[in-house]
Amino acid sequence: MVVLHFIVVGVALAILQTTVCMRTPVSFMAPDFYYVLVAYLALRLDVLRSLIILFPLACVLDVLSGTILGTYALICFGGYFFLRQLAGQIPVNELLYHLPLISLSFLAVSWAVYLFLELLQPGQQVAWSWWKMLLRMLLVALCSYPLFFFFDLIQKYSQRGLLSWSKLRLRSDNRRRRA
């Protein structure tokens, strides 16, 4: 159930980002909601469920963005594995310590994807601009805390389930045996 809920939330965030926030595919004032979800999956969920969630998210982002196909897949999967590797090296598992890690990994992954795509198709992309990317990195950092809180609520709701089994449990009449 967690996978299904996060797929729906990921697709909704991708649609929100590409239709409402981005006027053009290279808009620099659009917060990258999808990367915050990628960071959440890398830091809080196991590998199999995360990859199942990331695949439709990357496909939807590639289709809706209008850039070179595979760009968002590289960013999503590259960011996921990069953050997963770095999070294993950090002994503290609190969100405040992960916020700089998320924003710096966004900058590093975006730069690596830019260099890779520039190597494949020189002159086809918009030139790299540090101030625009730093602004996008700041937007990712600002969106991380509220979105992590929202994703935690979704995960708790998903793990709770539809039926509360404790209410369905039969109780004995003996009060001393109740736990």
* H or E segment and range at residue 65: helix 47-65
pTM for this prediction: 0.80
Give the other-Cβ count within 10 Å of 84's Cβ. Answer: 16
Interatomic CA distance for residues 110 and 76, integer angstroms: 10
Q: Which of 26, 33, 53 is nearest to 106 (CA)?
A: 33
For 96-117, b/e burial (b = at least 16 CB within 10 A) is eebbebbbebbeebbeebbeeb
In the chain, the percentage of residues whose pLDDT exceeds 90 is: 26
CATH class of the domain at 2-159? mainly alpha
Q: Where are the domains of the chain?
A: 2-159
pLDDT in tens, 105-142: 999 998 888 888 778 776 665 567 788 888 888 989 99
Interatomic CA distance for residues 83 and 58, integer angstroms: 17
pLDDT in tens, 35-52: 999 999 999 899 999 999
Interatomic CA distance for residues 179 and 173, integer angstroms: 12
CA distance to 26, 169, 172, 179, per residue, from 176 (Å)? 67, 17, 10, 8
pLDDT in tens, 145-165: 999 999 999 999 888 765 555
How many residues can be counted in the chain?
179
